[in-house]
Amino acid sequence: MAIINIREFYTIYTHDEYVEVSDEVAEALVEDMRYEKAHDRRTRRNKAQYSLDAWDGIETASELCSSNNPEVIVLMMEERCDLCQAMHSLPEKQRRRIEAHIKHGISQTAIAAAEGVTKGSVSISITRGLEAMKVFLNNSDSKSNFCPQSDLVGRR
């Protein structure tokens, strides 16, 4: 049996607390700590850091999602409504396939098997649906104030 200080392994502990654990558990905890330190060193060495002035979408997306700025929240709600309108402009079959593939992460092969069609027809349907959504979103005349899920947008 080994005695370990929990504060060394769990950051939520602010004071020393010693616990007796089996040798295997102590060894696994130490090995995990070594792995995390090595990972941090590799990250710094390879400069895999994200800069706020770079545009890769990571920081901006997290910043927008946690924003308390009312203007940002309204813009996000409008974008969501625009996407919702674009989805509802599609035929039912395309909408169902795009939602299954993009939103739920189901493969095109699995969608084809579930619907009893070929993978090619599912792929073409998704591609054409996304192109139609792009055209809808680029066409400013097609946008209206109607949002099919407007009652859901304000809820959190």
Residue ranges per domain, the chain? 2-45, 70-153
- Closest by Cα among 139, 129, 66 to 102: 129
Question: Residue 58's pLDDT is what?
Answer: 52
pLDDT beyond 90 at 55: no
52 vs 79 pLDDT, higher one: 79
pLDDT beyond 70 at 140: no
In terms of average pLDDT, the best of 3-7, 15-19, 117-121, 137-141 is 117-121
Q: To the nearest 10°, the Cα dihedral for 13, 19, 25, 28?
A: 40
- Closest by Cα among 120, 137, 121, 132 to 95: 132
Question: Residue 65's pLDDT is what?
Answer: 59
Q: To the nearest 10°, the Cα dihedral for 114, 116, 117, 119?
A: 40
Q: Do 94 and 127 contact (CB within 8 A), yes or no?
A: no
Which CATH class name applies to 70-153?
A: mainly alpha
- Closest by Cα among 156, 100, 91, 153 to 128: 91
Q: Which of 26-30, 106-110, 141-145 has the lowest mean pLDDT?
A: 141-145
Q: Which of 2-16, 54-68, 87-101, 136-150 has the lowest mean pLDDT?
A: 54-68
Mean residue pLDDT of the chain comes to 79
Output the CA torsion sign for 17, 20, 26, 29: negative
Share of the chain above pLDDT 70, in %: 75
Rg of the Cα trace of the chain?
A: 25
